[in-house]
Amino acid sequence: MVLKKRVKRTPIGRRQADTEYPRLTFDQAFDLVVSAKCAEGLRERTLTGYSNHWKQFTKWLHDNYGVEYVDELTSDHFRDHVNYMRYDAKRYDGHKFITSEQRIGLSDTTVNTRLRTLKAVFNHLSREDLIEVNPITNVKLIRQDVNFPFGERFDISLQ
């Protein structure tokens, strides 16, 4: 009886990446995510919010960086976008009924909501192996003050 020779196991760090990742434009990536999220049963209102936030993000990217593909993004792009939303974005910009001058800068809650949308999109792309590196993993949500009914103020971090 002849025994087979054991094959030596290769440590994980030394394995070569055999996975090839597609080069997706922003529209292609978002279409893939929306179709998957529809299959998961997300509500129409949620998908509409995703679409609005994605359009605002990609418009900002094209205006400021000229990035064309999803795999070209880094964490710095997202942090710059957060700073833009907090300090430079006009409230109600493009709204059809509110035409008066509004203050500059979005609220922390709005910024966190939009950031959660981007995290959901890129986490899905990463889970489905459509991008090699998830650029938004190291981007944290903004800290927000919470007002309690008794007038005390506490600072919490949302993650």
Each residue's pLDDT tens digit, 71-105: 999 999 999 999 999 998 877 666 666 666 677 88
User: What per-residue confidence (pLDDT) applies to 103?
Assistant: 74
The confidence score (pLDDT) of residue 154 equals: 59
pLDDT at 26: 95
Instruction: Characterise 92 by phi-psi region: left (phi > 0), alpha (psi -120 to 50), beta (else).
Output: left
Residue-level pLDDT at 66: 86
What is the predicted pLDDT for the residue at 101?
A: 67
Q: How far apart are the C-alpha atoms of 141 and 159, rounded to whole Å?
A: 6
The stretches in the chain having pLDDT less than 70 are 1-2, 8, 10-18, 92-101, 147-159
Write down the pLDDT at residue 82. 94
Q: Which residue has the tokens 């005390």?
A: 152
pLDDT at 10: 64
